[in-house]
Amino acid sequence: MAVELKNDRLLRALLRQPVDVTPIWIMRQAGRYLPEYRETRKQAGDFLTLCTTPELACKVTLQPVDRFPLDAAILFSDILTIPNAMGLGLYFVEGEGPRFERPIRTQSDVAALGVPDPETELRYVIDTVRLVRQELQGRVPLIGFAGSPWTLATYMVEGGGSKDFARTKALMFDQPALAHKLLEILADAVSAYLNAQVDAGAQTLMIFDTWGGVLTPRDYKAFSLHYMQRIVACLTREHDGRRVPIILFTRNSGASLEAIADSSCDAIGVDWTTDIGDARRRVGHAVGLQGNMDPAMLYASPDRIRDEAAVVLASYGAGSGHVFNLGHGITPDVDPDHLAVLVDAVHELSRQYH
């Protein structure tokens, strides 16, 4: 029998159910801006060891929740666990980001890909989810996550990060059938992975489509959103008697909000290049919204941060359906005390809207 969830603001707000105040969590809240994270990372030796050791991954997952009154924990992991489990050989070059030893370039590369079994090949992630749930003792809900098929494909085809996605786009433009085949396999892998996270205790799920916004709106629908929608259709929507809300986040997708809202997801992550009030007018009748303060605002003074929190809250306006977050991940140089100011400001200033 699961421990009772003491703070369910996040789950309620994602489903547009009444809340006392607007919940807040922060993308990359378990990250380098926290000295305790840097310490654990040093102990681990390298980033991959931190991800693949459940005790350490659990520890850093809990660090921000212990330090700030955040309304959610998010599993500490990396979106590239899936391609790594597919055998591409993930490694990290210090200061340069992720790389794959064996990128995917040909028809036979794609044909050789299998869908990893989460309970065996991604066991360290699923064990981390179980451990975090146990350690959280129902304080806040745990968010599980995965990368979107399109975003994973870009890393797999480019062999790492990219500026213009030349190889992935050339594949998509000239060999669309092969690109679709790759994306199908990834959609199946992500679905199985996320369902295993729910079985292990994740109470809500988020799909990160970091690079969907580098596509035209038409290509985004066909090559990214289509596969996220396919995943949403495969996911466990209720667990332990409670709805498991699904959040889709595509950076730079302001032009496609209506299409995303039609995907059967519960909520949409919005970056700071869309006004959240405009987003609500466009799709707020159908989905919850998560976002969207400019992450660079955390470099500003505490007073300015409070003012901006007020602006974002006012832009969304009265009623539930808003989960406060940054428009993208918190950056490593931010002073953690500035995040403390933001969390308090959101809780305090949002009361009037509920």
Residues near its own copies (CB under 8 A) are 164-166, 169-170, 173-174, 213-219, 252, 254-255, 272-275, 278, 294-297, 299-301, 304, 308, 311, 331, 333
Tell me which residue has tokens 């079994």.
117
Query: Residue 254 — φ and ψ, nearest 5°?
Result: -55, -35
User: CB 311 → its own copies: shortest distance, Å?
Assistant: 8
> Which two structure tokens, joined as six digits, stand for 321?
């359906």
Query: CA neighbours within 13 Å on the CB side: how many for 200?
Result: 25
Q: Which one, 58 or 326, has the nearer CB to its own copies?
A: 326
Q: Which of 8, 71, 78, 271 is catalytic?
A: 78
State residue 171 phi and psi, 5-degree precision.
-60, -50
Query: Helices 302-316 and 276-283: crossing angle, nearest 10°?
Result: 20
> For residues 117 and 275, which CB has a smaller minimum distance to its own copies in the complex?
275
Nearest to 69, CA basis, from 37, 22, 31, 131: 22
Give phi and psi for 76, each to the nearest 5: -85, 120
Q: Which residue among 28, 99, 251, 306 is the active-site one?
A: 28
Tell me the torsion sign for CA atoms 219, 220, 222, 223. Answer: positive
Name the residue nearer to its own copies (CB basis): 213 or 284: 213
Number of neighbours of residue 218 by Cβ within 10 angstroms: 9
- Tokens 């003491």 — which residue? 6
Q: Is 266 tagged catalytic?
A: no
Q: How far is CA 83 from the centre of its chain?
A: 17
Which residue among 33, 37, 155, 193 is the active-site one? 155
Q: Catalytic site residue 78?
A: yes
Among 41, 139, 280, 306, which one carries the catalytic annotation? 41
Task: Look up 32 and say whether it is catalytic.
Answer: yes
CB of 242 to its own copies, least distance (A): 34
Token pair 């994973």: residue: 152
219 is catalytic: no
Spatial separation of the C-alpha atoms in residues 115 and 139, rounded to whole Å: 34
Which residue's CB is nearer to its own copies, number 84 or number 274? 274
Distance of closest approach, residue 166 Cβ to its own copies, in angstroms: 5
CB of 48 or CB of 311, closer to its own copies: 311
What is the nearest approach in angstroms of its own copies to the Cβ of residue 216?
5
Does the annotation mark 28 as catalytic?
yes
**Closest approach of its own copies to the CB of residue 11, in Å:** 28
* Residue 165 DSSP label: -
Active-site amino acid positions = 28, 32, 41, 78, 155
